[in-house]
Amino acid sequence: MPITEAHSAASRAANRSMKAPPTMSADAQEHELHDLVMQQLDDDQAQEIVSIPLEGKSSVADHMVIASGRSTRQVAAIANKLAEKVKRAGLGPVRIEGLPAADWVLIDAGDVIVHLFRPEVRSFYNLERMWSFEGGEAKQGRA
């Protein structure tokens, strides 16, 4: 089947419109990742969501987010869904630790570290107190 001139012109026009989107700056990507994490935790009904800014205070990450699930099943489900959402958004690789027991699950998404706990485990380790810095304010999410 011969390719017509109209088909070739349409093909070239389609290729021009499929230009790669401009790459985001590192700051924009970090904020997009943090916003996505906070929104997804809220959507999945995580409880007592707290975001602690670490930028300039730790080289580990720029944000630490701590949240609770009502049960091990909910903690595991939130962790899996959040990791999948971050991967689908193209915001980098995600590593998960603690999923089999799901008492405390750590999600390392690069610039954002997420700790998901069952309430009893969260109160025992009390990471908010350990990572709160003088003069630093933790942002509260939904309760």
pTM of the model: 0.75
pLDDT at res. 42: 97
DSSP strand pairing (63-68 vs 139-140) = unpaired
- Residue 87, Cβ neighbours under 10 Å: how many? 13
Instruction: Tell me the average pLDDT across 83-109.
Output: 95
pLDDT level of residue 60 (50, 70, 90 thresholds): confident
**Pairwise CA distance, residues 18 & 16, whole Å:** 5
- Residue 48, Cβ neighbours under 10 Å: how many? 15
pLDDT at res. 13: 42
Query: Both tokens of residue 116?
Result: 């998901």
- CATH 3.30.460.10 applies to domain 26-140: yes
* pLDDT higher than threshold 90 for residue 30: no
pLDDT level of residue 16 (50, 70, 90 thresholds): very low
